[in-house]
Homo-oligomer: A and B are copies of this chain.
Amino acid sequence: MEASRSVRVTIDDVAKAAGVSRQTVSRAMNGKGDISEATRRKVLATIEELDYRPSAFARGMRTQRAGTVALVLPDIANPFFPAVARGVFDAAAARGLAVVVHNTDADAGAEAEAGRAIVDAGAAGAIGFFEALDDAALAALGRRLPLVVADRPAPDASVATVRTDFLTGTRLATDHLASRGHVRLGMLDGAVENKPERRRAFLEAAGGPVVTAPPTVAGGTAGLRELLGRHADVTGVFAFNDLLAIGALRAVKAAGRQVPGDVAVVGYDDITMAALVDPPLTTVHTDKYELGRTLVEVLGRRLDGHPAEHRTLAPRLVVRGSA
C-alpha cells in the first residue's frame, strides 16, 4: 500500500530529492536569483514528480503578500456586475490570482470595512467600485496596496483608474433621441452618491428636467410617473441605467401610452435583460466583461511595478425598439 497519510510535501523534501538546498528550490520556482539552467530544470522536474505545492501561508508570511486580489462592489446581484466580475475572474485566473469578493451595498462603512479586511488578508492588490467612500480614505487604501478604482476619478497619484466615458455615452443617447425628433428630453437619474457625472453630462449634452430615483426597476416606474407628471411635454427619456429604463418602460405602458411612439426611452449599460424586455431597450452599451478584464490588466501592470495608469473605455449605442 502506498503511504496514504496526507503529510505535506515541503520545500525541504524537494531539496533533498533533488540534491540541492532549500534556497535553490526557491530560486528555481520563483525565477529570481542566480541559478544554472541545468539545476533549475532538475529542480522543476522533481517538483513535478513529488507534486509539491508551496504553502501559500508560509510564502505570504515571508513576503507579506498573498496571491489574492480583492474585488469590492456594491452588489453582485445587481445585473451590471456579474459580467464585470466574470471578466475580472477570467483575467485574474490567467494570472494565477484568486479573487475574493466583497459586497458593500454602496455603504461607506461597509466599503471602509472591506478595505480593512483586504489589507488584513494581505491581498496583492484590489479592484474597487467604491461609491460612498471619500477620497481621503480611498487614497489611504491606495497607499497600503496596489489599487485600481472603476468609474471614479483617481483620489491620488498612486491609484489607477478605469472608466467608461459617460459623457460620450450620454451624447450618443441624447443625439439619438434628437435625431428621432424628440426636442424635449428628461432624465431619470439614479439616487447614487458620488455619481453626479451622469447628470452633469446630460445637462451639458441636452438639458431638461431631471428626476432622481433609486436605480431599480421600481424606481424607474415611480420616477417616470413623476417626470411625466411634472413635465408633460417630455417625449424622450434618458435613464441612468437600464433598470431605471425598464421601470420607465413599464410605467408608460401602464399609462396606456406607446413606446417609442408617445415616449421614447434609452437606457445605459446594456445589461442582459435589456434585449429581452418589450419593446427591447435601446441603450448605451458598455462592455462589462472587457471592463473587468481591463481592471485586472491595469492592476497587473501596477503589480509589476509600473506607475498607475488611467484607461477609459468607449461606449456605443445599441438601437433596439424603445427609441
Name A's B-contacting residues (CB within 8 A): 6, 53, 55-58, 60-61, 64, 66, 68, 75-79, 81-83, 85-86, 89-90, 93, 98-103, 116-117, 120-122, 144, 217, 246, 250, 272-273, 276-278, 289
Contact = CB atoms under 8 A, between A and B. Distances in A.
A57 B66 contact: yes
Contacts of A272: 79, 273
Contacts of A120: 53, 56
A101 B98 CA distance: 8
B86 A103 contact: yes
Nearest to A118: B98
A3 to B, nearest CB: 16
Nearest to A249: B276
A101 B100 CA distance: 6
Nearest to A250: B276
A93 B120 CA distance: 15
Contact of A99 (B81, B101, B277): B101
Q: Which of A64, A77, A278 has the most chain B CB atoms closer than 10 A to its own CB?
A: A77
Nearest to A271: B273
Given A273-B273, A276-B277, A277-B278, A57 B68 contact: no
Contacts of A117: 98
Nearest to A86: B77
B103 A100 contact: no
23 contacts: A6-B144, A55-B122, A56-B60, A56-B122, A57-B58, A57-B60, A57-B64, A57-B66, A57-B122, A61-B61, A68-B100, A76-B76, A77-B83, A77-B85, A82-B82, A86-B103, A89-B102, A98-B100, A98-B117, A100-B101, A101-B101, A217-B276, A250-B276
A254 to B, nearest CB: 13
A54 to B, nearest CB: 8
